[in-house]
Every structure is written in C-alpha cells, then in structure tokens.
A and B are shown apart, each in its own frame.
Chain A
Amino acid sequence: MNQQLPSDDELIPRLLAHDEAAYTQVVSAYHGLMVHLARAIVGAAIADEVAQEAWLAVIKALPRFERRSSLKTWILRIVSNTAKTRLRHESRTVSLEDTLGDQANIDPSQFNTSGRWASPPTVWHADTPDDLLASQELRACIDTTLRALPHLQRAALTLRDMQGLDMESICKVLEVSESNGRVLLHRARNRIQAAIEEFYQ
C-alpha cells in the first residue's frame, strides 16, 4: 500500500507541475487514510465522497501551501475541514465543547470517596487482540461503540491507535490543542475499554 514515497521537497514541485505519476504516488499513499478520517467524522455513507472532494480542494489550494506542516498533515487537515463543513451543511455539529464537555471519563461511581476502586475492573478472559476478536459478538460491540463516539473522539482514535499518526500531527489535522487532543484520545479509548468491560461482566 504505502510504497516508498519521495520527500515533500521532491513531491510538491512535481504536484504543482501536474505530474501525474506524483499524484498517483500521493493518492496511493494517502487516500486510504483520508477515507478513514472522513469516515470517523461524517460516517461511512459519504466518506468516499468527502475524500474525493478533499482531493479537489488539495489541487486548488496546493499553490498556496506554506509548508508549515508536512504534506500529509496538510492534506488530512483539508479532509477534516471538508468533513466538518459537510456535517454543518447537514446541520450536524462537530464542536469541541460538545465532545469534551459532556462525556464523562470513567464512571465516577466506580470509585469511593477516597478515590479507590469501589467496583474494580473484571478479569477479561483474553490476553491478546486475537483472543478478544475471536468473539464475533465482542467485535460487533467494539464496532458499534466506535461508530457511536463523538466525531472528534473517533477521529483522534482512528488517527492515533488505528492509523498510527503521532499526536502532534493529529492535533494539527483536527485543529485542537495538544491537551485537548490528548483528552479526546483518552476518552475515546476509555469508551471502547468500557464497552469491552461491559461485555465481560
């Protein structure tokens, strides 16, 4: 999938000169990731469409790209913005306040007043991802929980834990501060963990 991609220094002039081979390389390297990000924000039904729209925006904006981030991060930010705009058009919002504000972290009733576990985590009968995913039911449960995450939480989780981007790039892509980015990721992970926990209870 991701073959050796030339450096941004080499790629950008070629893209600006409309070099088709360079576009093919960039599309091969980044399109899958773009669809994953779009899916996290707008859902599967229109993710492909949003990714395509983002490519057109990339072509249009490339002459003005100031290179304050890598090409990859810049392209992903265009995807993120295209997806957010799409949500707004459909009167669905993607505000950071919603996402950070009302989603409780771990259920506070799990702890007593001194901060010790009141209802400790149960033992999972699994030691590896393969053990967990052997259950179709649990797999479906993780999938449902992922889809129900607030948009930005799902985007942060997708980019970090599923597509392996570093936190600094993710915060640039989603246009959130480093600390908010960490909170988004932390909450998303906790939600998935809580869903698995519930499954084993």
Chain B
Amino acid sequence: MKMIPSCREITEQASDYLDQNLPPWKRAAFRMHLLMCIYCRRHVKHLGLTISTLGKIAAEENARENSDIQQIVELIKQELEETPGQKGEDCR
C-alpha cells in the first residue's frame, strides 16, 4: 500500500478527515498530501466552508421558525385523555 493518498482519495476521505474520523496513520498521510498539494488544500477548505455554511443556514432557519408548540401540546393532551396513563391516574 502506498503511503500518500492520491488527490482522488483525498476527496473521498475529506469528509471523514474534517469529522476527525480517520485513523491516526491515515490522518497523517492525508496531512502529508495537503502539505504538497494546493488543489487538495483548496478542496478541503471548500468542504469545511460548505459545512459551516449549512450550519449558518440552519441557525437562520431555526431562529425564524416558531412552530406552534402550544398547538402540539393541545393535540397531545387530547390524545392522552383517550389513552390510559401508566399509573392509572391523571396527574395534571
């Protein structure tokens, strides 16, 4: 087995690399390749930026969303009234 992965292999391992999910020797070989290859450095940087951008989009969405929690709780209450509780009593 060769020591240093190819560019193609780098793109296959990039996601696991960023998730810190490569075994130590693979991680070391990955980093060795990055030292030598500007294009793979760029690719990995872009993948990292893609991931943080998705996080940013989600944070914006989460802040915007206000699902009607009370409405869901009401629905659950109705359902609970028709379902026997485990202790056989209503503790509301």
Contact = CB atoms under 8 A, between A and B. Distances in A.
A114 interface: yes
Contacts of A162: 54-55, 57-58, 61
B42 A123 contact: yes
A108 B12 CA distance: 11
Interface string A130-149: 10110000010011000000
Contact of B54 (A51, A52, A124, A192): A192
Interface in B36-92: 39-40, 42-43, 46-47, 49-58, 61-62, 65, 67, 69, 72-73, 75-77, 79-80, 83, 85-87, 89-92
Interface string A168-201: 0000000000000010011001101100110000
A51 B39 CA distance: 43
Contact of A32 (B8, B62, B87): B62
Interface string A103-131: 00110100100111100110110111110
Contacts of A130: 56
B75 to A, nearest CB: 6
Interface residues of A, number: 61
Contact of B12 (A105, A117, A185): A105
Question: What does DSSP make chain B's interface, helix, strand, loop or mixed?
Answer: helix
A18 B51 CA distance: 40
Interface stretch (A21-29, A70-78, A81-89, A93-101): A21-29
A55 B49 contact: no
A182 B12 CA distance: 11
Interface residues of B, number: 46
Given A18-B80, A115-B9, A189-B47, A182 B21 contact: yes
Question: What does DSSP make chain A's interface, helix, strand, loop or mixed?
Answer: helix
B86 A16 contact: yes
A19 interface: yes
A176 B79 CA distance: 31
A28 B71 CA distance: 11
A161 B54 CA distance: 6
Interface of A: 1, 13, 16-20, 23-24, 27-28, 31-32, 35-36, 48, 51-52, 55-56, 59-60, 63, 105-106, 108, 111, 114-117, 120-121, 123-124, 126-130, 132-133, 139, 142-143, 157-158, 161-164, 167, 182, 185-186, 189-190, 192-193, 196-197
